[in-house]
Structure 1
Amino acid sequence: MPIKKNLLSNEWQAFWLAIGFLTRIPMLVRIDYSQKLMNQCSMYFPLAGLLLGTLYAGLFGLLSLAWGPPVSVLLVLCFHLFITGAFHEDGLADSVDALGGGYTVEKRLEIMKDSRIGTYGTVALVMALGLKAALLMDAQSIWLALLLTPAISRLTPLLIMGFLPYVSDRDTSKSKPVAEGFSRNRLLVSCVFTALVALVFSLWLPGLWLAALIAVITVALLWGWYLQRQLGGYTGDALGASVVLCELVLLLGL
């Protein structure tokens, strides 16, 4: 019985650690921080995404009482950038700057660690946010798209983590404790959870499961292949970029 209780407590802490890692939402439980717990928390990324999606869909419903879809969608995106600290968008900008401006692996990694944003990153960020807003407004069901894309897209970095090496040697990297020692058994749990979410909501949004499958697999394979070729593996910024890319491909499918 104590073993089961400790296991449940550990998983509960891992869930809240995932929330704290991906968002600015305060962690409401005491965390016994460890490297192992950081490794374990990544399993809950899709669930954390579903929590975010619930907030986005609920906020969109409230805003729609006063404004039309364009204004409501843009305000939800502003809330998204605030509640996540633009975590994944920052990764996209840094990744595009590095991959566009570096001619060697060492130079790309050096650029990726630079906190300043360049032309490539700025253009990528503006285009990604603009395209995301346009695709949301064009979606068959905006609130369902807001609800589901954060959960489904956060499976993609887990697949990349499961099959590529981590190449950044920066000890202060926020993603390093999560990336090192990632368990494929826990990856399988995340895959099953995400698949169930897609299948259940396909009852209201036919074709969702197929769009989700195509988006996750396509981005994981193509982005993962490109990272392997350009960097020899992945970095934390590259994982963040994969979330944004998967969201866009999924919204295109929807």
Structure 2
Amino acid sequence: MIDGQPAEAAPSPSRSVLQHEWQAFWLAVGFLTRIPMLARIDYSQKLMNQCSMYFPVVGLLLGALYAGLFALLSLAWSPLVCVLLVLCFHLFITGAFHEDGLADSVDALGGGYTVEKRLEIMKDSRIGTYGTVALVMALGLKAALLLDMETIWLALLVAPAISRVTPLLLMAFMPYVTDPDKSKSKPVAETFSRQRLLTSCACTALISLVFSIWLPGLWLSALTAVLMVALLWGWYLQRQLGGYTGDALGASVVFCELVLLMFL
């Protein structure tokens, strides 16, 4: 007792860990989407960094929304109309987060001749010719690849989860090279834990193996796409920038999703 009052029992370590991870999950949801966070967040840079482990899980949540919406729309419209409407919903629910990164990255790498100039262009909110062309081609190719799939809903379900492993690999093995005081991605990118990377990769591998029952070859396509994009895009970023930026991480998600759909 304290001053005549019964002392409150301290939360158990296991409960504290679960509460911490629950907050990390919802912080990842809030970071990657416009979905309202259904948990009180004790925000910190450490929690922001740790939430990145849940990027593939958030991707699976988004995939479930896309697949469900496609199934519902298919009751009334053709596959082409349904895919385009799902892409519109995707751009809305994510705030075109990764597509913005793609446009900024391509603008910077296409129009800058020094590292300093590339980083300056990447921070500019305006979109240029390179970025516009990249966006149009990426969205058009994504729609075409989905329409070529026999099970469109399944591709919509798994691709967002698998593609969000790629930025985790880049964060784990490359340096961060933008102005830390002006970057919204700094808390996520700093000191990314290899242990949490392994956990996230294991979870994504399990997703790939489970859904390989309905989509043969998914696990091999997923492994190839993730490693190919991480290695090639990472190598190119290392040469052009000396590391990665938040925009480059977003671009890696778009690239990985396209490569995965091409293999499937």
2:77 match: secondary structure: coil
Question: How far did residue 97 of structure 1 move?
Answer: 0.2
1:37 aligns with 2:56: no
Aligned to 1:227: 237
- Give the TM-score normalised by structure 1: 0.99
- Structure-2 separation of matches of 1:90 and 1:5: 38
Higher gyration radius (CA): 2
| CA apart distance, 1:2 | 1.1
DSSP-derived class of the 1:21 partner: helix
Picking from 72, 88, 93, the partner of 1:78 is 88
> Which range is displaced more, 239-248 or 162-171?
162-171
Q: Name structure 1 gaps, 5 residues minimum.
A: none
- Identical-residue share of aligned pairs (%): 82
> Deviation string for 1:100-123 (max 9, x for gaps)?
000000000000000000000000
Q: CA deviation at 1:29?
A: 0.6
Structure 1 residue 158 displacement after superposition: 0.2
Task: Indicate whether 1:204 and 2:220 are aligned.
Answer: no
Partner of residue 35 from structure 2, selected from 25, 29, 38: 25
- Answering whether residue 21 of structure 2 is matched by residue 11 of structure 1, we say yes
Aligned counterpart in structure 2 of residue 63 of structure 1, from 67, 70, 73 = 73
Whole-angstrom distance in 1 between the partners of 2:192 and 2:226? 19
Q: CA RMSD in A?
A: 0.7
SS in 2 for 1:140: coil
How far apart in 2 are the matches of 1:240 and 1:93? Answer: 10
What's the TM-score once normalised by structure 2's chain length? 0.95
Offset at residue 172 of structure 1 (A): 3.0
Q: What is the deviation of 1:173?
A: 1.5
Q: Partners in 1 of 2:194 and 2:227 — Cα distance?
A: 16
Corresponding residue SS for 1:149: helix
Cα distance in 1 for residues equivalent to 2:27 and 2:34: 11
Deviates more, 1:173-182 or 1:114-123: 173-182
Q: Distance in 1 between matches of 2:27 and 2:193?
A: 17
Deviation at residue 139 of structure 1 after TM alignment: 0.9
Match of 2:65, SS state, is helix
2:148 to 125, 138, 142: 138
Determine which of 192, 203, 224 is the counterpart of 2:202.
192
Does residue 125 (structure 1) correspond to residue 125 (structure 2)? The answer is: no
Q: How many residues align?
A: 254
Spell out the pairing of 1:95-114 with structure 2 (5 A cutoff): 95-114=105-124
- Post-superposition Cα deviations, 1:55-108, rounded to whole Å, max 9, x if no partner, equal 000000000000010000000000000000000000000000000000000000
Amino acid at match of 1:114: D
Match of 1:54 among 30, 49, 64: 64
Divergent runs of 4+, >6 A: none
CA–CA separation in structure 2 for the residues paired with 1:232 and 1:211: 29
Shift of 1:140: 2.1
* Whole-Å separation in 1 of the counterparts to 2:131 and 2:216: 35
User: 3-state DSSP class of the match of 2:15?
Assistant: helix
Q: 1:166 aligns with which of 146, 171, 176?
A: 176
Q: For residues 70 and 226 of structure 2, what CA distance do their matches in structure 1 show? A: 25
